[in-house]
């Protein structure tokens, strides 16, 4: 277990495959970078890791993600237009992509294998909850369009993507994880609320090496763990 005493209000977390570092988003403070002994092939302390405040000037962002090139993606929610900010591993802002006007309350962004960006949005009632794909210029490439009422999203809080460009969506208030194809068409329901206490998924991570999906979700009060959050790992076909 990795204990990080400097972080008090932990939010999202992501791993950089290029540098083997962890990035932790702390609400109201910034982003921490955690380098382990394996990162630099030497020991930093008795705990074998070094924690530094990598980026302090972060406008409140609900999530973060890391591209295969080691770039950090952050949502910047503003009115009338929100944006997607891209930083290099030295915390230098590389690019700002303006999000479409209808993208209200952006939630999460991930990079596709082709270099585009998939963004989920919508949290409050009364606004559109959806997913879109943009290129580096902010041009709309694809947009998720539900075909029947039960395909409507309710708080798509987190995304993951596989090497084929298929998008996994934590459809939190619908208590399910769904998968879209590489053009954001509905594919299938991967997980849904069941007897094992699965409900309210809000964090996803796809492990390419094992073809597995890691899901953080909220357990019901009747669960054996007496409520709280739980991490489950599922094999994806």
Q: Is the pLDDT of residue 61 over 80?
A: yes
Helix (H, G, I), strand (E, B) or coil at 17: coil
Other C-beta atoms closer than 10 Å to the C-beta of 189 total 14
Pick from 145, 223, 136: which is nearest to 180 by CA?
Answer: 145
Residue 149 — φ and ψ, nearest 5°? Answer: -55, -35
pLDDT at 195: 59
d(CA 175, CA 141): 28
Distance between first and last Cα of the chain: 30
Nearest to 14 by CA among 30, 36, 1, 33: 33
**How much is the average pLDDT of 43-60?**
72
| Confidence check: pLDDT of 17 > 80 | yes
> What is the average per-residue pLDDT within 64-70?
95
What does the CA dihedral 206, 207, 211, 212 come to, rounded to 10 degrees? -70
DSSP state of 37: H
Highest mean pLDDT pick, 17-21, 93-97, 222-226: 93-97
Q: Which pLDDT band holds residue 42 (cuts at 50, 70, 90)?
A: very low
- Closest alpha carbon to 131 in 95, 176, 97, 171: 171
Across 2-11, 95-104, 169-178, 227-236, least confident range: 2-11
Return the pLDDT at 197. Answer: 75
Q: Which two tokens stand for residue 95?
A: 């690019």
Pairing of strands 21-26, 30-36: antiparallel
CB atoms within 10 A of CB 16: 19
Q: What are 109-123's pLDDT values in tens digits?
A: 999 999 999 999 999
Domains of the chain: 1-58 (no CATH), 62-235 (2.120.10.30)
* Count of CA atoms in the C-beta half-sphere (13 A) of 227: 1
Share of the chain above pLDDT 90, in %: 65
Q: Is the pLDDT of residue 144 over 50?
A: yes
């Amino acid at each position: 277990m990795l204990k990080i005493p400097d972080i008090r209000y932990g939010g999202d977390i992501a791993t950089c495959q290029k540098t083997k570092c962890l990035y932790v988003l702390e609400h109201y403070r910034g982003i921490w970078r955690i380098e382990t002994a394996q990162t630099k092939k030497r020991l930093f302390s008795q705990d074998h890791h070094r924690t530094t405040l990598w980026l302090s000037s972060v406008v409140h962002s609900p999530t973060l993600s890391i591209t295969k090139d080691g770039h950090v993606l952050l949502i910047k929610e503003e009115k009338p237009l929100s944006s997607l900010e891209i930083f290099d591993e030295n915390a230098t802002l590389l690019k700002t992509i303006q999000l479409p006007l209808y993208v209200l309350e952006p939630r999460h962004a991930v990079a596709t294998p082709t270099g585009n960006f998939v963004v989920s949005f919508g949290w409050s009632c009364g606004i559109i909850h959806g997913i879109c794909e943009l290129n580096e210029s902010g041009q709309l490439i694809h947009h998720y369009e539900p075909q029947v009422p039960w395909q409507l999203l309710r708080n798509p809080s987190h995304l993951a993507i596989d090497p084929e460009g298929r998008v996994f969506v934590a459809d939190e208030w619908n208590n399910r994880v769904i998968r879209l194809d590489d053009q954001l068409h509905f594919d299938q329901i991967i997980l849904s609320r069941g007897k094992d206490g699965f409900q309210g998924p809000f964090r996803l991570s796809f492990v390419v090496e094992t073809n597995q999906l890691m899901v953080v979700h909220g357990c019901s009060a009747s669960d054996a763990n007496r409520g709280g959050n739980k991490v489950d790992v599922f094999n994806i076909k």
